[in-house]
């Protein structure tokens, strides 16, 4: 593999921004420093005026999964290409646990599905059934590099929910063996009680989706998980936190790691009133503008330490206007726009770009045991790099999207798409064109660390 050197750029580390050159050798970062000499035959890329970020990590994607009779629009191949277009070089997706299947088999099946991924990838293990045989598999899986286990406090009807008592037993096992509990936190009983009168009254419009999943359901579930964490000592990570009430329930529990998504920072429930309102149906739902504000403040303060997308897009046809909100496949996409849209927001508001590096790369790498291989620009780390021109803000980026979905949630937001994306030393995207690159690899988790 030809050596490459990125010259004269400003490197956006998690703790500082420095004018440095970056040498890439054999897929890894060989050196980072001032005025590095170019090795013989090295390709030189002038990054004057450009910013260099570590490859973005999206720790929450659902490529090609079945939901309510439909399939999410991107599979691993189309979704990972779209990811690369937007600067995401590593995705972390979820296994799908079939009836009677072991966790080991669910992981092997998902790895086969992910064979076409162009990004490197890692997997969280979904525990959507409580069974002592499954718990017995956990130590072995952690030793083999799958250490985050996701449970749901809702989706009872879909057969995916665990009771709080069952989750506590999972947490005990994880605490003993060094695993991480991931939680989709919405209390199912509150949702059932909120949805029943809406259904009885014949409400089917998308707006009622939000009313059927109130923020107190999130607060209740977060509080219950906080109790479990306190009693078991198991580290826990709340996925897609959506509301001020949920954040408040977590406030006194700093041991709860928090993730949110761009849709909960930038979009609000008024979207459900639009003609394409059904397309925004996701769980948790979009909230009020005040929730956006509170979550933004928590992102800026570092209390929310990771932003993922919950990438689960659908075609317009999959969410046909005639479908009542109760039956609309849940999910919104965003892996392709995650970094471009947030970068433009950070630049527009003059925010600390090192914070963006922590939120979109370093912290996910640390929490999920991929650090320092991922999430860091330093000698020995994988050469996953994103070069951007902070001046190249555009509103007209939708026609250039390459993902499979025919609709996206962030239309109208300014965005800064990468000039160049490098995945393990291979340039994969230049000026929006995707060339053939070797497939991505499964990256096993090592030791996890707290976010910065």
Tokens of 336: 């392709």
Q: How far is the CB of 191 from Zn ion (least distance, A)?
A: 13
- Residue 170 or 261 having the CB closest to ligand URP: 261
Task: Pick the piece of the chain touching Zn ion (CB under 5 A) from 100-108, 119-127, 269-277, 302-310.
Answer: 302-310
Q: How far is the CB of 72 from ligand URP (least distance, A)?
A: 8
- Residue 222 or 385 having the CB closest to Zn ion: 222
Q: C-alpha angle 434/438/439, rounded to 5°?
A: 95
Q: How far is the CB of 240 from ligand URP (least distance, A)?
A: 6
- Residue 72 or 357 having the CB closest to ligand URP: 72
Q: How far is the CB of 154 from Zn ion (least distance, A)?
A: 8
Q: Are 238 and 306 in contact (CB under 8 A)?
A: no
Q: Does 423 bind Zn ion (CB under 5 A)?
A: no
| Binding partner of 331, given ligand URP, Zn ion, none, CB within 5-8 angstroms per partner class | ligand URP
- Residue 70 or 425 having the CB closest to ligand URP: 70
Q: How far apart, in whole angstroms, are the C-alpha atoms of residue 373 and residue 369? A: 9
- Residue 313 or 369 having the CB closest to ligand URP: 313
Give residue for tokens 């939000």: 210
Q: Which residue ranges make up the site for ligand URP (CB under 6 A)? A: 62, 184, 282-283, 310, 312, 330-331
Q: How far is the CB of 277 from ligand URP (least distance, A)?
A: 15
Q: How far is the CB of 281 from ligand URP (least distance, A)?
A: 7
Q: How far apart, in whole angstroms, are the C-alpha atoms of residue 100 and residue 188? A: 24
- Residue 333 or 425 having the CB closest to ligand URP: 333
**Per-residue b or e along 163-174, where b marks 16 or more CB atoms closer than 10 Å to that residue's CB:** eeebbbbbbbbb
| Binding partner of 13, given ligand URP, Zn ion, none, CB within 5-8 angstroms per partner class | none
| Binding partner of 282, given Zn ion, ligand URP, none, CB within 5-8 angstroms per partner class | ligand URP
Task: Pick the piece of the chain touching Zn ion (CB under 5 A) from 32-40, 95-103, 133-141, 309-317.
Answer: 309-317
Residue nearest to ligand URP (CB): 330
Q: How many residues bind Zn ion (CB under 5 A)?
A: 2
- Residue 213 or 358 having the CB closest to ligand URP: 213
Q: Does 310 bind Zn ion (CB under 5 A)?
A: yes
334 exposure class (CB count in 10 Å sphere: 0-12, 13-18, 19+): buried
Q: How far is the CB of 160 from ligand URP (least distance, A)?
A: 9
Tokens of 119: 């990004």
Q: Which of residues 154-193 bind Zn ion (CB under 5 A)?
A: 184
- Residue 89 or 242 having the CB closest to Zn ion: 242
Q: How far is the CB of 71 from ligand URP (least distance, A)?
A: 12
Q: How far apart, in whole angstroms, are the C-alpha atoms of residue 385 and residue 422? A: 5
- Residue 184 or 423 having the CB closest to Zn ion: 184
Q: Does 58 bind Zn ion (CB under 5 A)?
A: no
| Binding partner of 330, given ligand URP, Zn ion, none, CB within 5-8 angstroms per partner class | ligand URP
- Residue 292 or 309 having the CB closest to Zn ion: 309
Q: How far is the CB of 283 from ligand URP (least distance, A)?
A: 4
H, E, C per residue of the chain: CCCEEEEEEEEECCCCEEEEEEEEECCEEEEEECCCCCCCCCEEEECCCCEEEECEEECCECCCCEECCEECCCCHHHHHHHHHHCCEEEEEEECCCCCCCCHHHHHHHHHHHHHHCCCEEEEEEECCCCCHHHHHHHHHHHHCCCCEEEEECCCCCCCCECCHHHHHHHHHHHHHHCCEEEEECCCHHHHHHHHHHHHHCCCCCCHHHHHHCCHHHHHHHHHHHHHHHHHHCCCEEECCCCCHHHHHHHHCCCCEEEEECHHHHHCCHHHHHCCCHHHHCCCCCCCCHHHHHHHHHHHHHCCCCEECCCECCCCHHHHCCCCCHHHCCCCECCCCCHHHHHHHHHHHCCCCHHHHHHHHHHHHHHHCCCCCCCCCCCCCCECCEEEECCCCCECCCHHHCCCCCCCCCCCCCCECCCCEEEECCEEEEECCEECCCCCCCECCCCCCCCCC
Residue nearest to Zn ion (CB): 184
Q: How far is the CB of 447 from Zn ion (least distance, A)?
A: 25
Task: Pick the piece of the chain touching Zn ion (CB under 5 A) from 37-45, 166-174, 308-316, 442-450.
Answer: 308-316
- Residue 186 or 429 having the CB closest to ligand URP: 186
Q: How far is the CB of 159 from ligand URP (least distance, A)?
A: 14
| Binding partner of 287, given ligand URP, Zn ion, none, CB within 5-8 angstroms per partner class | none
Binding site for Zn ion (CB under 5 A): 184, 310
């Amino acid at each position: 593999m030809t050596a490459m050197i990125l010259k004269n750029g400003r490197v956006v580390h998690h703790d500082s921004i420095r004018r440095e050159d970056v040498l890439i050798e054999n897929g890894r970062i060989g050196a980072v420093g001032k005025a590095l000499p170019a090795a013989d035959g090295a390709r030189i890329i002038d990054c004057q005026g450009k910013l260099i970020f570590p490859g973005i990590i999206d720790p929450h994607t659902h490529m090609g999964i079945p939901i309510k009779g439909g399939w999410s629009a991107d599979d691993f191949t189309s979704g990972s290409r779209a990811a690369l277009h937007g600067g995401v070089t590593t995705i972390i997706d979820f296994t799908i646990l079939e009836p009677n299947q072991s966790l080991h088999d669910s992981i092997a099946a998902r790895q086969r599905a992910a064979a076409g991924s162009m990004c490197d990838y890692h997997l969280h293990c979904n525990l959507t059934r409580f069974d002592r045989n499954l718990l017995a598999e956990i130590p072995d899986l952690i030793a083999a590099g799958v250490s985050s286990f996701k449970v749901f406090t809702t989706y009872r009807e879909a057969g995916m929910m665990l009771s709080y008592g069952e989750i506590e037993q999972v947490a005990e096992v994880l605490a003993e063996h060094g695993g991480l509990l991931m939680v989709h936190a919405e209390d199912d009983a509150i949702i059932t009680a909120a949805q029943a009168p809406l259904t009885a009254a014949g409400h089917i419009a998308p707006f009622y989706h939000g009313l059927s999943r109130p923020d107190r359901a999130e607060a209740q579930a977060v509080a219950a998980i906080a109790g479990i964490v306190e009693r078991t000592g198991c580290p826990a990570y709340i996925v897609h936190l959506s509301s001020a009430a949920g954040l408040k329930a977590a406030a006194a529990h700093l041991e709860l790691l928090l993730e949110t998504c761009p849709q909960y920072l930038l979009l609000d429930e008024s979207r459900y009133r639009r003609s394409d309102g059904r397309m925004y149906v996701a769980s948790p739902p979009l909230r009020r503008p005040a929730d956006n504000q509170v979550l933004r403040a928590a992102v800026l303060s570092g209390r929310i330490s990771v932003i993922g997308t919950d990438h689960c897009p659908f075609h317009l046809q999959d969410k046909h206007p005639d479908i009542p909100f109760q039956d609309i496949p849940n999910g919104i996409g965003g892996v392709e726009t995650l970094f471009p849209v947030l970068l433009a927001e950070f630049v527009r508001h003059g925010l600390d770009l090192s914070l963006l590096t922590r939120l979109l790369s370093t912290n996910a790498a640390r929490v999920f045991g991929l650090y320092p291989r991922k999430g860091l620009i330093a000698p020995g780390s994988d050469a996953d790099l994103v070069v951007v021109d902070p001046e190249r803000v555009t509103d007209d980026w939708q026609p250039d999207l390459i993902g499979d979905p025919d609709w996206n949630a962030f239309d109208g937001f300014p965005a800064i798409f990468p000039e160049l994306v490098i995945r393990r030393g291979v340039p994969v995207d230049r000026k929006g064109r995707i060339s053939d690159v070797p497939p991505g690899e499964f990256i096993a988790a090592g030791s996890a660390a707290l976010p910065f």
